[in-house]
A and B are shown apart, each in its own frame.
Chain A
Amino acid sequence: MVKHEQESTNRPDNTAFTQQRLPAWQPMLSAGIVIPGFLIIGAAFIGIGVALFVTSQSIQVLEGPVFFYYALSNFFQNHRRYGVSKDDNQLFGDTSYFTSPSSSCSPYQYDSSNKPIVPCGSVANSMFSDTFQLYQVVNGTNKLVPWDGQGIAWWTDYSIKYRNPSVTPLQNAFNNTVKPINWTKPAYELDPTDSSNNGFINQDFLVWMRRAALPNFRKLYRRITQGDYAQGLPAGNYLLNINYSYPVVDFGGRKKVVLSNVSWMGGKNDFLGIAYLVIGSLCVVMSVVMLIVYAKFKFPDEE
């Protein structure tokens, strides 16, 4: 017996794995699964589509809280060379990058007098600079609609990703640097009303720095969450005062402003709902076609 065992040293192991006999589940598709499956998925998609579409349609300006967006078109914030043109270390508050910004910011790394630009790079340099005030015209007088620029950026952006250097006053950190070429104010004076909203954690700056995915995009400007208009903008005449400083004409771009409230699915967006409806209907149609073909095969005598 021992000899026998010695002889068969090359004998393969008789395990489920080596013999490819692992227990396995082998689902078999059948018409009874396929047709109802398509139908159910189609129905579900149509359901989602309807919900999305209805939600999207129900979004309007008059109910609060109202969000104020500015929108740009034909502006390629998603261009790669534009997108990389910033210095994450600098924006993270690392002062060593204040004096020598990353070369990725080039050609917005140093100004003509070879002083480092802070914040450097193309993205910061092209920051949207128009400002808006919304007034309701009540009895001939313009009543300012109060809005709030806080919390329009992502929490992670102003608490982690972007940081001001821990230098007080903030201005000192920017010694020997220059503001971006297109900027009228230095970074530490972006919001004269709120000292904590300055530097790299300025909300408008953060919103701009979060690049858009596509050349047509919106960016949140203000939210109307407090005061008389927190419940929405009542019907009436409104006046929008635009401090126009951002040039778009040369590249054929357009600017617009959007006032909208938001639902669980964000701003008004018909596309997703319609897409769901289309795909869902397609599934339902296919299930019906399959059912017809199936019936033909199953009961050929009726043919």
Chain B
Amino acid sequence: MARRRSDSKINSRPCDILTSRSFTTAQWRDIRVGDILRIHKDQIISADLLLLCSSEPHSLCYVETADIDGETNLKYRQALSATHIELNSSPSEEALAAFDGVVRCEEPNNRLYTFRGHLHWKDESHPLDSDHILLRGTVLRNTDLAYGLVIYTGTRRGLQSVQAQCSVPGADTKILRNSGKLKLKRTRTEEVFNGVVIGIVLSVLLAVLFLAIGNGVFASRVMSQTWALSALVINGNPVYSAFLVSWSYIILLSPAMPIALYITFEVIHTIHSLFIGWDIEMYWQQTDSPAQARNTSLNEELGQVGFLLSDKTGTLTQNRLLFRQCCIGGEIYVMSDKLLMTREPVVPSGFQWNKDLSGDLSFESVLMRQQGAPSMLLFNSDTAFFNAVKCSDSSASTGDASVRAEDVEPMDLGWNPYSCGGLMMSAPGLVEKLRRRQCPLSGEFFRALSLCHTVMAEWREETPVYQASSPDEMALVGAARELGWAFLSRTRDFIVVSELGVTRQYQLLALLDFTSKRRRMSVLVREPEGGLKLYCKGADIVILERLQRDTPYQERTERALELFAQASLRTLCIAVRSVPEASWEQWRKALAQSVAMVTCDREALLEKLYDEMERELQFVGVTAIEDRLQDGVPETVSLLQQAGIKIWVLTGDKKETAVNIGYSCKLLDPDTKLLEWQELRQILQCPDPGASFFKATQSEVWAVDNKTTRAKTAVVLTGPELAEFEQRPEWGAKFMSLAMQCQSVLCCRVTPGQKAEVVTLVRKHTSAITMSIGDGANDVNMIKTAHVGVGIAGLEGGQSVQNADFALSQFRFLRRLLLVHGRWSYQRISLFLRYFLFKTCGFALVHVWFGFFNGFSAQPLYETWFIALYTVFYTSSPILCLAVFEQDVSAETSLTRPELYRSGQRQQLSSVRMLCMALLYAVYSSLVLFFIPAGVFFDTALDYQTMAVTVSMAATFTATIEIILLTKHWTKYNVAAACVSVAMMFICTRITHNARLFQRSPVDYNFIGVSDQAFADPVVWLTALLTAWAAVLPSVTARAAIVIASLHDKHKVHSVSRQPVELRSHFTRGSSLRRSSYAVSQGPGPGRLISSGNCIRSAAPKEATARTKPTDSPHKPAKPAHEEELGRENI
């Protein structure tokens, strides 16, 4: 129902459809193939579109694909030049209405990154590729309007429209093709239980068969000989009699086939789901959303999860990047009270007081702390340094970097007209320095940040709004703006920057773009004063090897890098170089030459040229950016790992980013060895993967203990590599056996389909329960594929929640969902199933034994009323209470002792064995329930009805004693339920034995008076008590034995703990710590677009022009020819 509702919500989202010369607002459901849509800025694209034109120059448009592939940077799409020119010229509606092209394209498929097709229009055929396609689920950014032709819609077959004929048969969008099929999920426990129930049904039928045969034999052998019974053989035919009696026995034994259980099971599931929704600790105040169990039948599976497959963007991370620290000239500017804060989570009271009384005083206190802390960090003696490292280590381990950014007192940046806030850094000392212009190096640092990037500025309400393809750059440029170096605007050849209020214009001579191989980018600019400067930023190892020989502060910088890495910050080194005019001229010529070359070594030549320019750099500083994790992610991850859950990260993002996040969220330890594809493939190709894996992990010097070494290994895979698995299915099992021993597996650059394949791989080769968690449309498939799917209800991200079984607002709620709710659910449901089997089978099977003493005549051993009421009134409420309230340990203990979770993963409580034990126990108790009273009643004057009441009492007592033994958490409801059930048994028995009811209907109430006699008879009581006690004796003994045996375990634990603790090698950490975690999380940058000027509006924004010096306006210096060349080539 919930799914249907949210589906209809999505289907009724508005969109603009072109209908005869004008756009009208319609709903998503009305979109047909061939429609032309108008997409506004920040609108979610509703179908796969062919981009016809957009409001931007060259019909470019930007889309955010975070929902599809988890990448946060913007991607650009460009319309065909043909459609751009034709459709953009005249009033667009008319032109669009007149558009009559025919698109021929491939069948809908799930490949997100490819598209093949042709547009036939005006007797010309234009090839189409994925650059022309806007996928459903992406969001239009930075582009006012875009017009697109619908190619693929939802699942409905598209009608061919008048304007454009599409040769598309079924028209699923690509993302839908990727989202997999919806399957009905059933829990493992339920499957096991269903198996057991089938077993029960079969054995009951078998028993019925034997009883029927027995009846036939009895009828032919005994009854025919007995004058009193011979006439009672139906039709005088023993076979017919046996046939009839088998039906009676099926009815009589039907309580053993627990049909009622399924109903109760559903009720319990529903209550557990309600508890999840009710949990205030999983309620997220900011979006006012509680956790949600959308699928109410998977709760106990939450207590058995063995594999957690997580998305990265939006799930582990917040998709927000923050400039947190920097190191300029060897000095670290840190948020001031970070170290203090980790010690005392609450802001020190004195500090608060100061703030309240006077701003000045507080500023001073911040300043003091600020100046105190970093100097202690770096410049004191060695011991102090190590202390500092330890401090930051401990703070990092508590997830300090991510959690406490909000605690930082925002700096007073009122002097800066461009400041918009949002800088999570408090370094007033730095600000002072900058404002007094005392430190030219800091100035250079921020100048570099404000110049060396590919960000574009857009003016909105007097302030520049940045649009970046990489969130890292956005954070850096934003930070520079906050501290006074505001990037104002960019034209093709100029960059306008306000430096502490002074507007300066730099001429952009060359942009040496970022590639994942170069791992750096540079800009060559001419300063207003005329000097040539090269600003470069890049990964630390790349920059450090390009520095001048005698770089100052090298040691400090390296330490800073280490510190930043420990705090899981992404670092980026900034360097500058003054370029002599002569060498620039020379380099430019060389560049022009090499660009003109058409040979294939052109790339290499360019590479070499770039390399020549980026030499002899002067080191400026290091930036440290935090890819903000969601709150509590590291704690949650480590807790879940302690609980024995394997956490894998599946992301569409880049390998470096994924690995970096892996470290920062404590998924990987600093000394975790990464096993990459080359190595992994060798291992997999080996005949004996285990041994070679062992060898590979042994290769490290620090490999002390095999087991821990293996656990300290993580596999890193990328999508294309994963694709090889498809061709070699035999690798799957090998890979899984390796992966089981590893700490984690990171899969990067994977498509939604591949994510699901990974889940399938895990499901296929292990028996563990898999859980997928994600927030975007790209996670839908894996959410559906896994046993349990969890959707993070982010700001948008409806898709994943739609398809998820559980919806959470925060990743950290997962620990409560799994360790508390999941564990409890699993415990409760296992107990419930076992108890239910026990009580119903034990109750029903007595009829089998009684059959031997009554000629297999299907004579019930209970009053009809008792049979009717036993399961419903006499035994149901205590077990229901147990299944709702039972807590073997409290929520807090569940969270502090994650190892308790492991019993669920091993299915200890719900295995076939356990259920069969319950059944055996039931059989035993049914034997006791019959034979002890039978022994007492044999050859006595006590009648059948008294015996029926005695056995009923014994059965109720047995069920009640058993539930008392099972219940470990006695709420008032449990007590009441247990008391009420037994009382109910007596009351209802008295009522059905009542004379008045008998007088009304003698046939239905012919047990009249039995309870008067039976309840007054000590033999009945003694028999019932003895029977009940004997029936539960195995259970009591087993419990007692566990208590006694646990003493032994405790003793063992004590003796084990006396053994020496494993020594960890601390000294190796430093060297392995330094991760080259460069900040730019992007592929080849959009530098070529900037330099080709395609994306820049012809007219610079008014505001910017006003600020720009008049000399700058139409001046167009010789544009480097190679840039243009390069641009064309790539587009």
Contact = CB atoms under 8 A, between A and B. Distances in A.
Contact of B1026 (A38, A154, A272, A294): A272
B304 to A, nearest CB: 20
A174 interface: no
Given A161-B1009, A271-B936, A286 B1040 contact: yes
Given A22-B885, A154-B1009, A266 B854 contact: no
A227 interface: no
A239 interface: no
A238 interface: no
Contact of B859 (A78, A276, A297): A78
Interface residues of A, number: 92
Nearest to B292: A10
B225 A251 contact: yes
Contact of A275 (B229, B974, B1006, B1026): B1026
Contacts of B1013: 154, 156
A215 B853 contact: yes
B941 A213 contact: no
A213 B947 contact: yes
A250 B227 contact: yes
Contacts of A13: 278, 280
Contacts of B1040: 29, 34-35, 37-38, 286, 290
Interface string B929-943: 000101111111111
B1022 A217 contact: no
A216 B854 contact: no
Interface stretch (A69-77, A110-118, A132-140): A69-77
A79 B1029 contact: no
Give the residue among B944, B969, B970, B1041 with the most A Cβ atoms within 10 A.
B944
A100 interface: no
Give the residue among B932, B934, B972, B1026 with the most A Cβ atoms within 10 A.
B1026
A12 B283 contact: yes
Nearest to B241: A81
A261 to B, nearest CB: 13
A269 interface: yes
A89 B1005 CA distance: 11
A19 B279 contact: yes
Nearest to B1039: A29
Contact of A11 (B283, B938, B1017): B283
Contacts of B222: 76, 251
Nearest to A152: B941
A298 B1046 CA distance: 11
Interface stretch (B199-207, B305-313, B371-379, B995-1003): B995-1003
Nearest to B1047: A297
A282 interface: yes
Contacts of A275: 932, 935-936, 1026, 1030
A218 B854 contact: no
B232 A293 contact: no
A37 to B, nearest CB: 8
Given A12-B279, A24-B969, A272-B1023, A122 B231 contact: yes
Contacts of A122: 228-229, 231-232
B816 to A, nearest CB: 11
B1003 A88 contact: yes
A22 B973 contact: yes
A14 interface: yes
B638 interface: no
Contact of B1003 (A75, A78, A89): A89
Give the residue among B226, B998, B1019 with the most A Cβ atoms within 10 A.
B226
B895 interface: no
A82 B241 CA distance: 13
Contacts of A11: 280, 283, 285, 288, 290
B857 A79 contact: yes
Given A29-B1040, A217-B941, A294 B1047 contact: yes
Given A52-B1022, A160-B1009, A213-B947, A24 B1043 contact: no
A19 B225 contact: no
Contacts of B970: 24-27
B1125 to A, nearest CB: 56
B806 to A, nearest CB: 15
A157 interface: yes
A24 B881 CA distance: 12
A266 B1017 contact: yes
A251 B275 contact: no
A277 B86 CA distance: 104
A214 interface: yes
Given A31-B1044, A80-B859, A272-B1023, A279 B940 contact: no
B278 A161 contact: no
B1008 interface: yes
Give the residue among A24, A264, A267, A300 with the most B Cβ atoms within 10 A.
A24
Contact of A251 (B226, B973, B1017, B1022): B226
A234 interface: no
A156 B941 contact: no
Nearest to A247: B227
A23 interface: yes
Interface in A33-56: 34-35, 37-38, 41, 45, 48, 52
A31 B1037 CA distance: 12
A264 B289 CA distance: 68
Contact of B248 (A12, A27, A79, A80): A80
A88 B1009 contact: no
Interface string A176-197: 0000000000000000000000
B290 A279 contact: no
A36 to B, nearest CB: 11
A143 interface: no
A20 interface: yes
Contacts of A217: 939-941
B941 A267 contact: yes
A24 B229 contact: no
A253 B939 CA distance: 13
Contacts of A30: 1043
B1017 to A, nearest CB: 7
Interface in A274-299: 275-276, 279, 282-283, 286, 290, 293-294, 297-298
B1044 to A, nearest CB: 5
Interface in B1084-1115: none
B1012 interface: yes
Give the residue among B223, B824, B942 with the most A Cβ atoms within 10 A.
B942
A241 interface: no
A83 B860 CA distance: 11
Contacts of A297: 1044, 1047-1048, 1051
Contacts of A252: 225
A41 to B, nearest CB: 7
B651 interface: no
B289 A10 contact: yes
A23 B857 CA distance: 50
Given A24-B969, A29-B1040, A75-B228, A80 B940 contact: no
Given A88-B1003, A250-B227, A218 B944 contact: no
Contacts of B1002: 88-89, 91-92, 161
13 contacts: A12-B290, A18-B275, A18-B280, A22-B885, A34-B1043, A75-B226, A76-B226, A80-B854, A80-B859, A213-B937, A214-B947, A272-B1023, A300-B1051
Q: Which 7 A-B pairs have the closest CB atoms?
A: A156-B1009, A126-B228, A18-B278, A213-B947, A88-B1002, A251-B226, A80-B859
Interface of B: 222-223, 225-229, 231-232, 234, 248, 275, 277-281, 283, 285, 288-290, 824, 853-855, 857-860, 885, 887, 891, 932, 934-948, 968-974, 995, 998-999, 1002-1003, 1006, 1008-1009, 1012-1013, 1017-1019, 1022-1023, 1026, 1029-1030, 1033, 1037, 1039-1041, 1043-1044, 1047-1048, 1051
Given A19-B280, A78-B857, A269-B1019, 6 more contacts: A12-B290, A37-B1040, A80-B858, A125-B228, A160-B1009, A279-B1033
